[in-house]
């Protein structure tokens, strides 16, 4: 299996690049943000609980997203690998992901982190807010809160994968195709 964590702050382009990676390498896309938005849409108890966190730009509790990923790993058995998008976002989540994969005789192969300047992130999210109905992209103070939380709680996950020699920084500025080439270079170098 080829298991990739696609990492980076909100607005780095993880969703867009995940779509391209899964096509190129025939992988399964697992986005906790997408799964949570589906749960909200369906008004499940999990979705209703998650919505209050998401609307404030806070992280939902670890156990919630860990449970979701655990279910997805059980559900999609015969795939050639996963792209984890927006997960793990805390060191607790990273540890749990390792443990869940280990139970299946698997592991993360590569963690690629998209690097984008702060101002560019805010611009991209404000623009995305105009085009989509994502509630958490509508308000600059919520956008700033999400970026702060990334810096305070999520960025440190880099150290977790650095220690395993799996971390690769990839330039996230530039065109979608330029960024994608950077990601593919990192995957090919790994292979």
Residues found near ligand AMP in the complex (CB under 6 A): 10, 32-33, 36, 53-54, 57-60, 65, 86-87, 89, 93, 136, 146
Instruction: Please report how close the Cβ of residue 191 comes to ligand AMP at its closest, in angstroms.
Output: 27
**115 pairs with which residues across the strands?**
171
Does residue 151 come out as left (phi exceeding 0), alpha (psi in the -120 to 50 range) or beta?
A: alpha
Nearer to ligand AMP, 68 or 110 (CB): 68
**What's the CA gap between 142 and 148, in Å, rounded?**
10
58 secondary structure, DSSP code = P
Number of residue whose CB is nearest ligand AMP: 33
Instruction: Please report how close the Cβ of residue 129 comes to ligand AMP at its closest, in angstroms.
Output: 12
Instruction: Please report how close the Cβ of residue 183 comes to ligand AMP at its closest, in angstroms.
Output: 17
Nearer to ligand AMP, 69 or 170 (CB): 69
Q: Check: CB of residue 57 under 8 Å from CB of residue 111.
A: no
CA 128 to each of CA 2, 72, 116, 132: distance values in angstroms, whole numbers, following the listed order: 30, 27, 16, 6
**What's the CA gap between 110 and 149, in Å, rounded?**
23
Instruction: Please report how close the Cβ of residue 130 comes to ligand AMP at its closest, in angstroms.
Output: 17
Take residue 95 and report the two structure tokens written for it.
């540890």
Nearer to ligand AMP, 86 or 182 (CB): 86
Task: Count the neighbouring beta carbons within 10 Å of the beta carbon of residue 18.
Answer: 22
Nearer to ligand AMP, 58 or 106 (CB): 58
Instruction: Please report how close the Cβ of residue 66 comes to ligand AMP at its closest, in angstroms.
Output: 8
Nearer to ligand AMP, 10 or 13 (CB): 10
């Amino acid at each position: 299996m080829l298991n990739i964590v696609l990492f980076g702050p909100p607005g780095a382009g993880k969703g867009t690049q995940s779509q391209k990676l899964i096509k190129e390498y025939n992988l399964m896309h697992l986005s906790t943000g997408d799964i949570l938005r589906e749960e909200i849409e369906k008004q499940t108890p999990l979705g209703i609980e998650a919505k209050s966190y998401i609307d404030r730009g806070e992280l939902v509790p670890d156990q919630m997203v860990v449970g979701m990923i655990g279910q997805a790993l059980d559900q999609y058995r015969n795939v050639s690998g996963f792209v984890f998008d927006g997960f793990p976002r805390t060191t607790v989540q990273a540890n749990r992901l390792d443990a869940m994969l280990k139970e299946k005789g698997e592991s993360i192969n590569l963690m690629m982190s998209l690097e984008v300047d702060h101002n560019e992130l805010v611009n991209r999210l404000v623009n995305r807010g105009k085009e989509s109905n994502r509630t958490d992209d509508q308000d600059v103070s919520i956008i700033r809160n999400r970026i702060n939380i990334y810096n305070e709680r999520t960025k440190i996950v880099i150290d977790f994968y650095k220690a395993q020699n799996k971390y690769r920084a990839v330039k996230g500025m530039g065109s979608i195709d330029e960024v994608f080439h950077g990601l593919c270079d990192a995957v090919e170098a790994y292979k």
